[in-house]
Structure 1
Amino acid sequence: MSGFLADHAGVEIRVSPNFNPRRGTDRPDTIILHYTGMPTAKAAESWLCDPVSEVSSHYLVHEDGAIVQMVRESDRAWHAGKSSWRGVSDINSWSVGIEIVNPGHEFGYPEFPDRQIEAVIALCQGICGRHGIVPERILAHSDVAPGRKVDPGEKFPWKRLATANVGHFVEPVPIGDGPALKNGDRGRLVEELQSMLELYGYGVEITGIFDASTEIVVAAFQRHFRPARIDGVADASTVETLRRLLSSLHISFAQV
């Protein structure tokens, strides 16, 4: 059982067979937050431990705040699937995966309970402390797999996490009227938008053409950082929120 958190830390151990060694690193630098997207917590926990599923996570956080560890942090859990961030495609090797019990968009998508979020915060703080993970490397599944995944979704309280130094957040710029970039547009402004998204970490090709893949990435960005309206249209609110995020990391667009 070496490598698992002690029971007295409030963590239950239920080992999943779905893991293998990390590739290219011996420690994670990223945390990926998911929701389970299944009707019940019991079903989700069983699925993550079923060898037939070929999926797992390092941790599962129940609605009441109870935490189950399934894979050692030193090992590679199978949680992210086809994904990328800052040019890295093997996200599983570089991350700790946390599944948060919530039935998701297909099953009503309720609010995340306070006790659950408190447990997620404490868990992330411990992981970050052990591995030196910085706030901007705490990401949504939808960030690393735009279009394919939407979890943990627009109801997830990223601002609340950020007040505890868990995750990167700036107050979204209010939505207003004005010009916006959308599917079919092309030119310098589209290229700048794609460059800023890529600089932040999203997997987007810099072409100067606002195509369907760019729209999907913009929607993923909005779901995390500007959830008031998720439409894949890069309005001024979306673009300026992105610019503020980069600025808060002391990255100016002039560096692109």
Structure 2
Amino acid sequence: MSGFPPDEPSAEVRVSPNFGPRREKPDMIVLHYTGMETGAGAEAWLCDPASEVSSHYLVHEDGRIVQMVRESDRAWHAGKSSWFGRSDINSCSLGIEIVNPGHSLGYRNFPKPQIDAVIGLCKGIVQRHTI
């Protein structure tokens, strides 16, 4: 996959090779923080084949949205997880990584442009997938 049109109109695309076929219709959104020092480092990691992780979206602190996996595909963001008896959360969810160092490196307040971008992105996903 060399590129694709973004599902979210405001997103730029940087393709991650770390994805597979979706097994279920998405009916939930999973929000993560990156837990890395920089957004550039997180973006590189999510697009590195050696990491074997990805997310549908990454939201930078300045509000920039990067889509790495099509919403119709299964990103590898939830690991071994479960929710109300369901065990393949990657297949039934859309993953959003929010740039923030997190508890290991020291939380930073989420800037308003980032919060606004996450809210807008979630609203778009909810409309596209009737979540």
Measured against the shorter chain, the TM-score band is over 0.9
2:109 to 108, 111, 133: 111
SS of alignment partner, residue 60 of structure 1? strand
SS of alignment partner, residue 52 of structure 1? helix
Give the structure 1 partner of residue 72 of structure 2: 74
Which runs of 5 or more residues in structure 1 are unaligned? 134-256
2:36 to 32, 35, 38: 38
Tell me the TM-score normalised to structure 2 length.
0.94
The superposition leaves residues 170-205 of structure 1 with CA deviations (integer Å, 9 ceiling, x where unpaired) of xxxxxxxxxxxxxxxxxxxxxxxxxxxxxxxxxxxx
Contact 1:64 1:115 survives alignment (8 Å): yes
Identify, as 1 or 2, the structure richer in strand. Answer: 2
2:7 to 5, 8, 12: 5
| Equivalent residue letter for 1:78 | W
Identify, as 1 or 2, the structure richer in helix. Answer: 1
Give the structure 1 partner of residue 121 of structure 2: 123
Query: Residue 4 of structure 1: CA displacement?
Result: 2.7
Query: Residue 10 of structure 1: CA displacement?
Result: 2.3
User: May I ask how many residue pairs the two structures share in their alignment?
Assistant: 129
Give the structure 1 partner of residue 21 of structure 2: 21
Give the structure 1 partner of residue 91 of structure 2: 93
SS of alignment partner, residue 42 of structure 1? helix
Give the structure 1 partner of residue 100 of structure 2: 102
Contact 2:19 2:54 survives alignment (8 Å): yes
Structure 1 Cα separation of the partners of residues 105 and 35 of structure 2: 7
SS of alignment partner, residue 83 of structure 2? coil
Which runs of 5 or more residues in structure 2 are unaligned? none
Identity %: 71
| Equivalent residue letter for 1:21 | P
RMSD of aligned C-alpha atoms? 1.2
| Equivalent residue letter for 1:17 | P
Residues 1:127 and 1:108: Cα distance change in structure 2 (over 3 Å): same
Higher relative contact order (CA 8 A, sep 6+): 2
Structure 1 Cα separation of the partners of residues 126 and 119 of structure 2: 10
Contact 1:82 1:89 survives alignment (8 Å): yes
Tell me the TM-score normalised to structure 1 length.
0.49
The superposition leaves residues 112-131 of structure 1 with CA deviations (integer Å, 9 ceiling, x where unpaired) of 11110000000000000010
